[in-house]
Chain A
């Protein structure tokens, strides 16, 4: 079953074309890494999927419903690209931030009840931040903050996770731990994952499919196809392609 169907989508910022001609389907259980250079439209694609930006052409179907009419937002967990500075001095605790994710399943008046705190506790448990529950978000390291945002995205037990460069500006060990958690969510909990990353080789370690964007969809398919594609060798150069494929190959062996 397809979770997302993107049909010939174009997105413009005024007269500037950010994305065009994007067509791809993402099936339940997929783990898709979206890679591409700066300004290639990766975040724009997420924003179009989440209805934050209007598509100028084409359509996006979420669980078979046009994204404009889609209302089951609790099925989708989103971890945005967040700057640490943005929340400097914000007085919210980790528990309050994670609980705010519950609102996607609610209509006005949106209230959070005490019995829903079990969902909050479970989401914090998934990403191993239960001991941070009463800490202020502004006091945490970048890696800890990213786990808080992942817990917030998971609090409604969504079927699909959209992660926008979740490990930007965190140290390699933290990044590795984060990817491990996401991999478990995909493989053990069956969550569909779409992950934007600048780092193709890192993303390639865990993802089962790769989408390469450069305002257009340059490549979309499995890693084995990507690695054996002479067209991709021409596009990336043998060195960069080998870097991505080498890492992915070693993880495939581990699986």
Chain B
């Protein structure tokens, strides 16, 4: 316990906790809707786009997050356009955009030979190295995402349950879908500092899937997902500090442990 209090004294731990909790909350809320709509892999696809954005940012000597946010949002719209207007299946559209982005990322990494170490930190995350401006940006954008989800909660709920019925209710389904995907793009861009582009989709999927195992009600599912996510982030940060483990990977492993415990509890109950 002393080690925990000791860790809390360090500003870099405080920054990691603040940004991790906010971004974890965004991932959990969005994750419930994305998982139920079989769109959970959009997080993975957009994470690959963020890799290209990081490559570009490092090549241009700019803060990668500033490049990643608009680029990933644009890519999310491209995926929706391919799926809605160009008659490409949604999973194929995600794969297509994701593959192009990885190719661009690798090419940029190859051109700018000197930044491979930095790129590595974005691949696997480095929340302990997050700067104060990044924390402030993460909190502001997370509040925007969480506020949007709360404001559109009922619309998102009906669309997740039955898209066609939502249209009958007069809900602008296409517009809401755009908002959901844009919020996901924003969250993925922010999350690459927490667990890295390789693992960000797990932060979206795990808390939601774990909560959906036991939730008896939609609001409860959202709440449980947020709790699992926040506890995983906090535990991941402390375990990685105590045992000198990679933080992003530890957060994901704690998420996985929650999933296994809840899964077994549900089956053995």
Q: 0/1 per residue, A136-159, Cβ < 8 Å to B?
A: 100000000000000000000000
Q: Does A117 have its Cβ within 8 Å of any Cβ on chain B?
A: no
Query: Is the CB–CB distance between B161 and A92 below 8 Å?
Result: yes
Of B98-106, B190-198, B213-221, B247-255, which binds chain A? B213-221
Taken together as a complex, chains A and B put the C-alpha atoms of A101 and B217 apart, in Å, by 17
- Enumerate chain B residues within 8 angstroms of A87, measured Cβ to Cβ: 161
For residue B44, give the distance in angstroms from its CB to the closest CB of chain A: 21
Q: Does A96 have its Cβ within 8 Å of any Cβ on chain B?
A: yes
Contact residues of B between 214 and 238, Cβ < 8 Å to A: 215-221
Known contacts A78-B168, A103-B154; is-contact A91 B220 (Cβ 8 Å): yes
Q: 0/1 per residue, A203-226, Cβ < 8 Å to B?
A: 000000000000000000000000
Looking at B158, B170, B216, B220, the one whose CB has the most chain A CB atoms below 10 A away is: B170
Q: Does A114 have its Cβ within 8 Å of any Cβ on chain B?
A: no
B contacts with A: majority SS: helix
- Enumerate chain B residues within 8 angstroms of A52, measured Cβ to Cβ: 164, 167-168
Query: Is the CB–CB distance between A96 and B158 below 8 Å?
Result: no
For residue A65, give the distance in angstroms from its CB to the closest CB of chain B: 14
- Enumerate chain A residues within 8 angstroms of B162, measured Cβ to Cβ: 80, 82, 86
For residue A89, give the distance in angstroms from its CB to the closest CB of chain B: 7
- Enumerate chain B residues within 8 angstroms of A73, measured Cβ to Cβ: 168-170
Q: Does B62 have its Cβ within 8 Å of any Cβ on chain A?
A: no
Query: Is the CB–CB distance between B216 and A91 below 8 Å?
Result: yes
Query: Is the CB–CB distance between B169 and A101 below 8 Å?
Result: yes
- Enumerate chain B residues within 8 angstroms of A101, measured Cβ to Cβ: 169
Query: Is the CB–CB distance between A50 and B36 below 8 Å?
Result: no
Q: Does B65 have its Cβ within 8 Å of any Cβ on chain A?
A: no
Taken together as a complex, chains A and B put the C-alpha atoms of A101 and B157 apart, in Å, by 11
- Enumerate chain A residues within 8 angstroms of B170, measured Cβ to Cβ: 71, 73, 103-104
Q: Does B151 have its Cβ within 8 Å of any Cβ on chain A?
A: yes
Query: Is the CB–CB distance between A91 and B161 below 8 Å?
Result: no
For residue A101, give the distance in angstroms from its CB to the closest CB of chain B: 7
For residue B209, give the distance in angstroms from its CB to the closest CB of chain A: 10
CB closest chain-A residue, reference B211: A91
For residue B40, give the distance in angstroms from its CB to the closest CB of chain A: 14
Identify the A interface with B (CB < 8 A).
Answer: 50-52, 71, 73, 76, 78, 80, 82, 86-87, 89-93, 96-97, 100-101, 103-104, 109-112, 134, 136
Identify the B interface with A (CB < 8 A).
Answer: 36, 151-152, 154-155, 157-158, 160-162, 164-165, 167-171, 211-212, 215-221
